[in-house]
Amino acid sequence: MEPALANRRILVGVSGGIAAYKAAELVRLLVKAGAEVRVVMTPAATKFITPLTLQALSQHPVATDTFDLTQEATIGHIELADWAELLVVAPASADVIARLALGLANDLLTTIALACKAPRVIAPAMNVNMWNHVAVQHNLQTLVARGARSVGPGVGELACGWVGSGRMVEPPEIERACAEALGPRDWQGLAVLVSAGPTHEAIDPVRFLGNRSSGKMGFAVARAAARRGARVTLVAGPTALATPPGVERVDVESARQLRDAIVERVDGAQAVVMAAAVADYRPRAAATGKLKKAALGGAPALELELNPDILAELGARSYARRPVLVGFAAETAEVERHAVEKLCAKKCDLMVANDVGEPGSGFGTETNRVILVGADGTVERLPMMSKAEVAERILDRARALVVDER
């Protein structure tokens, strides 16, 4: 599969700020990923990093001056605006964010931005107090409302000595945002409902029954679906993972809460991806107070009862228009056979199965090796890959099954 940035035309805009030095690494990464990169700098940016550095890394002349006759003759601001498939502003200072929001064209970068119809990625970088100012937030929200993708800022020690939000995120994160911005939009306007993470079943106010799920696989699906244009609702069990951009998140704790949240939102969804690791059992009655060893005289006897089988309920429901139903099977042996059995029993359209005992394929990892089993009898065995890549493959398969009646 061709890398997302291969042969794509990316224009990197660099504004003035100490984080401008990171633009060199960003350009290097984009070029390494196969992109053709051009750079435009504000006059202030040239005070922090030389155009020569970015010219050497991009292998193209760096544009800096709207009124430079040589630059305008060989590149031209309109030509650059038309050339770009993506405009990335990194770092984006408070000043340049304001000028972009107002539609000003008082330097080469803002002139190009005003003429450029390509999608854009904005990577803010500034002092924490500037970042928190209502004017900056309003200006950035204006750009996002127009379709820009904002990435960051991060939290940490700033050049001014303050600690807080405002530092530009690292170049690999901006590179990922570029790949997402240039990715397919084949789910545009469709609704996707995703569950992710574990469930916690209370024993008492302190303890619970749970599992090892981190939620990373479900969150990867939600992120990829949103990037591909879907309206995504993510029902998440207890996890510390950040909400993916553009995703509506609903937090739950128990299996019954997850079931209620899913059933309440399933109508109108074109696809349901049940990546959550839902506990099969729960204590029949949770203690209202902490169970004390001294009072019990030993270990408590837990009486368990079955949790609702959400996937089976979804498969058996009647719908005005049935969504594509994707289930997950976390196995430790005979993965393919169990996946086929679960697919049939739950009436799913696609089952995603993996061996959670295999190194790199279990809970909490960044990678996964899965088998995709379709209701049409197809079996696709994927190699070990990142969970982000697995998410894309799942969405590819699910999209082919969606009946588009928009």
Q: How far is CA 49 from the centre of its chain?
A: 31
From residue 212, give the alpha-carbon distance in Å to each of 15, 234, 364. Answer: 44, 19, 7
Q: Which amino acid is at 209?
A: L
Strand partners, 250: 235
Q: Which amino acid is at 53?
A: T
Rounded distance between C-alpha atoms, residue 218 and residue 58, angstroms: 36
Q: Which two three-digit tokens encode residue 399?
A: 């999209």
Q: Enumerate residues 6+ apart whose C-beta is below 8 A from 32.
A: none
Sign of CA dihedral 336, 340, 342, 348: positive
Rounded distance between C-alpha atoms, residue 270 and residue 320, angstroms: 11
Establish whether 160 is a catalytic residue: yes
Of the listed 160, 178, 344, 348, which one is catalytic? 160
Rounded distance between C-alpha atoms, residue 153 and residue 130, angstroms: 12
Active site residues: 160
